[in-house]
């Protein structure tokens, strides 16, 4: 993978930050403001680590004005932004790689005019394209009010 995706904001290169919820939201909004399509961003982490909170903040920064909710049951939500459409995908309930075809996976991740945010990307297995921007969130074992954000 290249050191820096050409459409990823400078906030994406390798980094590790301990952030409060407010700081995580501010980071996500700044990331969203700097991002440009086409861009595939994967958000991984345990339940409650802040993936949807970060996706909401990225969408706000990207210009999405409607409420961004978790697509856990619908699997894919689409949002409008003045810059491009945003596809928010949650693979938590997916039954392996074979279910990706049913949600139009290839059309989603290779959309040349979209910012694509994918929660639970590990469920895509080998069908996760190279060149995406990986962001991982972890609970901070030393401070329950913070999350560790690992980007790039």
pLDDT digits (tens, 9 = 90+) for 85-133: 999 999 999 877 888 998 999 999 999 999 999 999 999 999 999 999 9
pLDDT tens for 62-71 read: 999 999 999 8
What interhelical angle do 51-62 and 21-34 show, nearest 10? 40
Q: What are phi and psi of 10, to 5 degrees?
A: -60, -15
Strand partners, 118: 42, 89
Write down the pLDDT at residue 66. Answer: 96
CA 48 to CA 93: how far, in whole Å?
Answer: 15
Record the pTM.
0.89
pLDDT band of residue 15 (cuts 50, 70, 90) is: low
Sorted by where each starts, the structural domains of the chain and their CATH numbers stand as 15-125+145-151 (3.40.50.300)
Contacts of 47 (CB under 8 A, 6+ apart): none
CA 63 to CA 87: how far, in whole Å?
Answer: 13
Write down the pLDDT at residue 5. Answer: 47
């Amino acid at each position: 993978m290249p050191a820096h995706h050409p459409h990823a904001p400078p906030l994406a290169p390798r980094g590790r930050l301990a952030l409060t919820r407010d700081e995580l939201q501010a980071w996500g909004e700044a990331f969203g403001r700097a991002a440009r399509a086409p861009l595939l961003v994967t958000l991984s982490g345990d339940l409650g680590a802040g993936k949807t909170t970060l996706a909401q903040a990225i969408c706000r920064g990207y210009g999405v004005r409607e409420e961004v909710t978790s697509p856990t049951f619908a699997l894919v939500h689409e949002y409008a932004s003045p810059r491009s459409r945003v596809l928010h995908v949650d693979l938590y309930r997916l039954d392996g790689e074979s279910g990706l075809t049913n949600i139009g996976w290839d059309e989603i991740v290779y959309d040349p005019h979209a910012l694509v945010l994918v929660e639970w990307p590990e469920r895509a297995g080998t069908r996760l394209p190279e060149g995406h921007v990986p962001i991982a969130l972890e609970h901070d074992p030393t401070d329950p009010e913070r999350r560790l954000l690992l980007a790039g």
